[in-house]
Structures are given as C-alpha cells and as structure tokens.
Amino acid sequence: MDSENEYNSSQMSDDGFMEDSDVDMDDGECLLFAAVLSESDFEVEEEDDVGFETQDKDIKPTKHAYEVDFNVFSPADIHAQQDKQIAETSSILEQPPEATAILLRHSRWNKEKLVEAYLERREEVLEEAGLGEEVQKHPPKVMKVPGFVCDICCDDDEDMETFAMKCGHRFCVDCYKRYLRTKIKDEGEAARIRCPGDKCNRIVDSKSLDLLLPPDLRDRYNELINRTYVDDKENLKWCPAPNCVYAVDCKIKDRELMRIVPTVHCNCGHYFCFGCTLNDHQPAPCALVKKWMKKCEDDSETANWISANTKECPKCHSTIEKNGGCNHMTCRKCRNEFCWMCMGVWSEHGTAWYNCNRYEEKSGHDARDAQARSRQSLERYLHYYNRYANHEQSAKLDKDIYLKTEKKMTQLQNSTGMSWIEVQFLDAASQALQQCRQTLKWTYAFAYYLARNNLTEIFEDNQKDLEMAVENLSEMFEKPIDQLKGLKRDMLDKTAYCNKRRIILLDDTATNLKDGEFSCAFGMMGFNVTLP
C-alpha cells in the first residue's frame, strides 16, 4: 500500500481528497489515469497500481511553483454535484430530496451547519425555510377575499384571486406574479426573493413559487438557482469571461493569497486569478495588484504632470508651478524667496538678474539635493509605471497584429503553398507574446513594491531576460509576409525561448513568494511575509 499513499500525496492538494470529486488533475493523461484508479479496486489491482505509478512519474510534467490545482466544471457537473449533496444530506435529515434541496439552498449550501441546526431545532429550521408543519398542513393557496384591495395595483375586483404567505402580506395574484417576474428576469434573484410586502424580509418559499411561477420563468429560475450554488460555495467561482458557462474549483483560501497567485485556466481559454477574478496577474499577488491599480488610477497623470512642470519650495516643500518668466520666486506659503534656476536662496544672488550663474553656491546645492530626494520617489514610481503601461500598450498592439495573423496565415498558405498546420507557428508566437507581456507588465508593478535585496537582483535579471526575448520575437513578428516563411525556424525557437523564460521567472518568483523571501519597500503591503 506504500505506493498508493505516495500516489495520493503527490497528486492531491494538501487538503487531501476533494469532497466533490475524486479527480484532481489538469491534464489529460493524468485524468485518464486517475479515472482508472478511482474506479478500480485498489486491493485487487495493487500490482497494476505499481506499474501505473512508475509510468506516471515518467509522463507527468513536474508542477511548477506558480501553478495551482484546480478543476473546471461544466453546468452539468455543477448540477450533478448539487444532486449528490442533496442525496447525501437527504439521507441524514430523513427528508425527501425536494425538501432537502430547499433546506440546503436556504442554508447557503453549508451542509454541516444545516445538519447541526436541524438536529438541534428541527421545527425552527423547517419553518424558516418555509417547510414548517403548519405549511405542510395548510399549504399556501390562491384564494378570493371579499372586500380586498390590492396595495400594488389598487384593484378591488370581487373575483380577484389573491395570495399571501404566512406573513399575511396579501396581494392579487397578477401583481405577485409580476413581482416575481421582475425579480427573476430583471434582477436575477432566485433563492432569496423577499415577500413583496413593505419591509417584510420573509423569503418566498419554493411551495409558493411552485404555485405562482409561470412555466416560462422556471428555466430561468433553475438556472439562477444553479448560479447561487456556485456563488455560495467558497471554493467555486464562475469564469469571468463573457458568455463562459464554466465554473472553476480551487482550494486556495483568501488568507493564502499573500503567498500564492492562483492563476487558473478555464476550458474556454481564459486565464484568470482565482483570488480576485481579474485577468492573470502573475507574479504579483492580489493585494499588490489592487493597490497598484488604485495608485495608477489616482496618481499617474497627476504625477507625470507634476514631474514635468513643477519644483518644490526648498524650505516648505510646497509644490510650485512657475507661472511667469522671472526666476525670482517667492513661495506663497512660507514667503521663502529663492531662485528657480539653482533653487538657492535669493539673497545670495545679490542684485537680481534673470539668469542664474551661481551654480556652485552651497545653499543652492543643498536645496537641489533635498529636491532630488523628494523627486526620487516620484521618479521611481514613474519608472515602473511607464514600463508597466508600455507592456500593456504593446500587448494591445501585439493583439492587433494577432487579429491580422489569421489573415497572414491564409496569405502564407496561398503565396507559399504551406499547409495550415505549417503556419500555426504564427499563432503560437502571437499567444506567447500576449502571455509574456502580461507577465512582464505585472513584474513592474511587483518590482515597485519590492525592497531591494539580493533576490531582487535575480528577479530583475529574470525580468530583463524575458523582456529581451519578448522584444526579439515581437520585432520578428512584424516582418512582411514574404519574409515570414524563412523565419519560421527562428520564430519557433524564439517562441519556445520566450515561454521558457516566462516559466523560469514565474517559477522563481512564486517559490520565493511562497517561502516569504520577498519583503516590501514601503512596509505597508500585506505580502511582506518575512516575519511569521
């Protein structure tokens, strides 16, 4: 059984087996292998297991430090998961599956909490979910009430059908239905629609919904119910790509996000961060990304302008924009008089001239020093920001080219007689460029917050290597069509090199991040994990 244990520890996330699925792989071979394992009887086929295991070690690519375990689920998978949990809970609670489903949804799919609460105060739990005994005895029904005026449509027709839940907020059936329609169709609510009565927080239970929902709303309702399942589960998230139907399961917890950047890859092709659902931002951790984006939003343009157009008063450090031609400046705030050219005190200039020729004066020198220091932080930010923005921009331009790639590929096929498969290298190159620039972009945001130590040098070397590789490939990519065929070998090499450099950079950074080797330049970042 030794081999089996080893298999488990190498394959499964440290949380052990996943609760919903025994399969925890992301590449086809392993998937197949695991499926065989999970279906086979371990005891009987122990011999085979050993065989598989050795084979597995050969085939399976070693996992990189920047990769996390995750699973992608289709809507059908999600449905099946719900059914499985309902079936499990149903047998514990000894309630029919239908009622169990309502209870689970009501408790936001927290099975343990539901079971505990149910065992402790059964009636109360049933009642809250709209399944109380009284409801069972007197199920909600539509009725006519003499002298009733609907508070929504103000109708008082004698024959009007009306409905109310146990809370007694009674409205005509038409209005009730329209209310539900608005909630479901327009606002996308499902599991927790409240009673339409003013200030009433009672949830419309499923028995009432069964009674009132027209058939055309049921599909939508069921779809939304599916959605709430994913929303309620901490380890499940929808892929944020437009029109994508998949959900991703990842065991990374929020508190781990300081040390891990959990980029996942949806079956639709979209790479995103499981922590914050933004586009892949490796190697920078989520908290830093958030901070950086906020800083850029607030500061970039202003900082650029300040840097280009202003200086600081040498005495009180107010930022000053020169609004006239004269170099004799008087600070509005502290009344300090100084020379705009040399930043030295004006009194040392003797009788005033418009041109300052006193560059070596001591007071001017000190003032310029102080100025330089305060400007340094601004310059530092702009250094990183400009590179970050440049890669973002370049990625966009590369993307434009990517859109033309397909056209290029067809042209290549026509003009050189190359087959479709032979021109795929362009597609691969373009994808590599996109991915590498994305990574490079975030290395600059990351570097901005990094305190210097010997690791940062390695980081910067990695960054430089990747950047050079990317620029080389990018340049080649822009060559005219007739030259492209001759460049195929070279481009394939450079593409592979780019991808390799990217993996090295990410792997290195992720390992150090995990081990807490990085520290932050400003001591304000959460990812400073040098201290336990």
Partner 1 sequence: MSSVAKKRILKEYAECSNDLPSGMKVIFDEANLTKWDVVMEGPAESPYAVCLELAMCFDKRSLMHQGGHFKLEINFPNDYPFKPPVVNFKTKVYHPNVSNDDKGSMCLGMLRPEEWKPPNKVISVLHLIQNLLVEPNIDDAIETSIANDYKTNRAEFNKTAQDWVKRYAK
Please give the positions annotated as active site: 326
The C-alpha atoms of residue 514 and residue 519 are separated, in whole angstroms, by 12
Size of the site for partner 1 (CB under 8 A): 18
Q: Does residue 161 belong to the site contacting partner 1 (CB under 8 A)?
A: no
Nearest partner of 405 among 420, 394, 393, 417, judged by Cα: 420
Of 125 and 175, which CB lies nearer to partner 1 in the complex structure?
175
Q: Which is nearer to partner 1, 7 or 176 (CB)?
A: 176
Rounded to 5°, the CA angle 25-29-31 comes to: 35
CB nearer to partner 1: pick between 175 and 356: 175
89-97: long-range contacts, CB 8 A cutoff, minimum separation 24: 89/114, 89/115, 93/118
Using the rule CB under 8 A, give the single segment among 181-189, 232-240, 430-438, 459-467 that binds partner 1: 181-189
CA angle, corner 22, sides to 18 and 26, nearest 5? 90
Strand-pair partners of 392 = none
Residue for token pair 């300040």? 306
Whole-number Cα distances in Å, 238 to 60, 193, 228, 275 = 28, 22, 11, 12
| Binding window for partner 1 (CB under 8 A); candidates: 40-48, 122-130, 148-156, 329-337 | 148-156
Smallest gap from Cβ 169 to partner 1, in A, equals 8
- For position 6 contacting partner 1 by CB under 8 A, the verdict is no
Q: Cβ–Cβ contacts within 10 Å for residue 227, how many? A: 17
Least distance to partner 1, CB of residue 146, Å: 20
Task: Determine, following the binding rule CB under 8 A, whether residue 167 of this chain makes contact with partner 1.
Answer: no
Do the beta carbons of residue 418 and residue 408 sit within 8 Å?
Answer: no
Q: How far is the CB of 213 from partner 1 (least distance, A)?
A: 16
* Residue 295 found at the interface with partner 1 (CB under 8 A): no
Which two structure tokens, joined as six digits, stand for 149?
């005026």
214-233 footprint of partner 1 as x/- string (CB under 8 A):
--------------------
Q: Which is nearer to partner 1, 187 or 490 (CB)?
A: 187
Q: Are 515 and 455 in contact (CB under 8 A)?
A: no
Question: Which residue in 54, 74, 91, 182 binds partner 1 (CB under 8 A)?
Answer: 182
Q: Does 152 bind partner 1 (CB under 8 A)?
A: yes
**Does 241 participate in binding partner 1 (rule CB under 8 A)?**
no
Q: What are phi and psi of 195, to 5 degrees?
A: -55, 140
Q: How far is the CB of 196 from partner 1 (least distance, A)?
A: 5
Cβ-proximal residues to 359 (8 Å cutoff; 6+ apart), any chain: 342
Q: Is residue 39 close enough to count as binding partner 1 by CB under 8 A?
A: no
Which span sits near partner 1 by CB under 8 A: 26-34, 127-135, 182-190, 461-469?
A: 182-190
Nearest Cα to 488, choosing from 433, 430, 432, 422? 422
192 vs 253, beta carbon nearer partner 1: 192
End-to-end Cα spacing for the chain = 37
Q: Which CB atom, from 209 or from 491, has the smaller least distance to partner 1?
A: 209
Which range touches partner 1 (CB under 8 A), out of 32-40, 175-183, 234-242, 396-404? 175-183
List contacts with partner 1 (CB under 8 A): 151-155, 171, 175, 178-179, 182, 186-187, 194, 196-200
